[in-house]
Amino acid sequence: MNNQNFSKIFKDGLSQILVDQFESFSAKEFGIERSKLNEIKPLINTPPVVVITGLRRVGKSTLLRQLAHKYLENNYYFVNFEDERLIDFQTKDFDKLHENLITVFGEKKIFLLDEVQNIPNWERFVRRLHDQGYKFFITGSNASLLSEEFGTRLTGRSERVELFPFSFKEYLKFRGEKINKTEILTTRKRGKYRNLLNIYLESGGIPDSLKYPELEIHKNLYNDVLYRDIAARYKIENTRSLKELTFYLETNFASLLSYNKLKDLLKLGSVNTVKNYIDHLENSWLFFVINKYAYSIKEQQIAAKKIYSIDTGLSKSIGFSFSDNKGRFLENLVFLHLRRSYDEIYYYKTQNEHEIDFYIPKIGLFIQVATNLDLKETKDREERALIEAKLENNNAKGFIIITESEEEEYIKDGVSIKVIPMYKWLINDTLI
């Protein structure tokens, strides 16, 4: 569409587009109330731009709708920049958009802008009106793009909120299950939670895939991220290599990875290509990469990485056999639960090269994940690494082994170790 045609839309049809968007936004289901709503509520009457970011289809628009319905009393504008009718929208058109919004809906001081990263230099408009006292709630699906724009023009003016697929607690709400946080659960309740956890591990927490299991939501989402969010945005012509790398990562999450080995295995030409592709996949929220914990930044950079998927259901649909790799699914789920609360998460290797799955320096927490501790050698291995970490690290405060169903607390070689069932750890609010 050329500029002349787009100008005609502004003249003849933009108001109708805005009305259509508002009516559609208001009429859609609210779904289960997301836990992030509690995080956003205190920000409503504060100056910063609130940026809600996360993977496509995790419910960012639904969260906006819940926010508007519960707290904004129809006192807002809503614009969805994923609408194909706005495909040729440019920075210079924002003032015309604002004028049309006032004409149709009257004067309002709150903007809800959905998938705003599709518009070049959008942050100029936001900053200008923000400085005039307007409040903005923005969604976007590219972490890097949003952070770069904040860094240049919105420094000190924004608060970031990360939205993930449904947590296990949200999944239980979606299923209509009442959550019981008491220490003592009946045999029936324990069995039910374990059963639901197994289903959740396989299905994941992407709302639409749970609501419409007959549709290929995961595969469509996967293709949208690869081709629209990454290949098109970063002008990657060799999409085959990108797809092969992504498939490999979906099949090997919760594993140690070397960028050098990935380069050779997938014939990707250079380590920089591997790093760039993985950066793009991280920025689009398909994966998270964590480093080995080390006091030396250089050691962190050269050590192997561990990679985790944004959603176990997505990984199962794209490239993973669940039945043979349940332990990795459990480990991935632990990571996601930790990542909702903490940015700095590491894996840890003791001086004797014994690995601990997760270390959170901020709270001194070490976590091992095991499907079960039936075998003595398994329990000995998990304990040995935790005991060594306690001796090596003055910051160490908590030592946990998370399993499918076992529960006990004991002291081994002076270290207090908690063994916690996964379902119980996920539904309680404390990590230690």
CB 393, CB 387: distance < 8 Å: no
Residue 273 lies in a domain: yes
Could you tell me which of 121, 161, 124 has the C-alpha nearest to residue 139? 161
158 and 209 housed in the same domain: no
Please provide the size of the chain in residues: 432
Tokens of 323: 């039945």
Over residues 391-413, the pLDDT tens digits come to 999 989 999 999 999 999 999 99
398 and 276 housed in the same domain: yes
Whole-number Å distance between alpha carbons of 137 and 60: 11
Over residues 330-383, the pLDDT tens digits come to 999 999 999 999 999 999 999 999 999 999 999 999 999 999 999 999 999 999
CB 122, CB 149: distance < 8 Å: yes
Segments forming the whole domain that contains residue 50: 3-162
| CB half-sphere exposure, 305, CA atoms < 13 A | 19
List the chain pLDDT tens, one digit each, 432 residues.
444 444 444 555 899 999 999 999 999 989 999 999 999 999 999 999 999 999 999 999 999 999 999 999 889 999 999 999 998 899 899 999 999 999 999 999 999 999 988 888 898 899 999 999 999 999 988 876 666 666 566 767 888 899 999 999 999 999 999 887 766 788 898 899 999 999 999 999 999 999 999 999 999 999 999 998 899 989 998 899 999 999 999 999 999 999 999 999 998 889 999 999 999 999 999 999 999 999 888 888 889 999 999 999 999 998 766 667 889 999 999 999 999 999 999 999 999 999 999 999 999 999 999 999 999 999 999 999 999 999 999 989 999 999 999 999 999 999 999 999 999 999 987 777
116 and 63 housed in the same domain: yes
Residue 172 lies in a domain: no
Residue at which a domain ends, from 162, 196, 212? 162
Per DSSP, the three-state class of 214 is coil
Residue 168 lies in a domain: no
262 and 152 housed in the same domain: no
Residue 205 lies in a domain: yes
User: How much is the pLDDT for 184?
Assistant: 73
Per DSSP, the three-state class of 369 is strand
User: How much is the pLDDT for 4?
Assistant: 43
User: How much is the pLDDT for 158?
Assistant: 86
191 and 88 housed in the same domain: no
Residue 16 lies in a domain: yes
Residue 86 lies in a domain: yes
CB 98, CB 9: distance < 8 Å: no
In Å, how far are 12, 32, 201, 260 from 290, measured between CA atoms?
51, 31, 21, 16
Residue 422 lies in a domain: yes
**Going by DSSP bridges, is the β-strand pair 287-290/135-140 parallel, antiparallel, or unpaired?**
unpaired
Give me the amino acid identity at 103.
Answer: T
How many domains is the chain partitioned into structurally? Answer: 2
Find tokens 């329990």 and name the residue: 379
Residue 169 lies in a domain: no
Per DSSP, the three-state class of 165 is coil
In Å, how far are 46, 162, 208, 375, 412 from 355, measured between CA atoms?
44, 29, 37, 18, 18
Residue at which a domain ends, from 99, 127, 162? 162
Residue at which a domain ends, from 118, 146, 162? 162
92 and 236 housed in the same domain: no
230 and 353 housed in the same domain: yes
93 and 216 housed in the same domain: no
191 and 158 housed in the same domain: no
191 and 154 housed in the same domain: no
CB 292, CB 257: distance < 8 Å: no
Helix/strand/coil percent split, the chain, to 5: 50, 15, 35
155 and 225 housed in the same domain: no
CATH number at residue 94: 3.40.50.300
Tokens of 344: 């700095």
191 and 243 housed in the same domain: yes
User: How much is the pLDDT for 233?
Assistant: 87
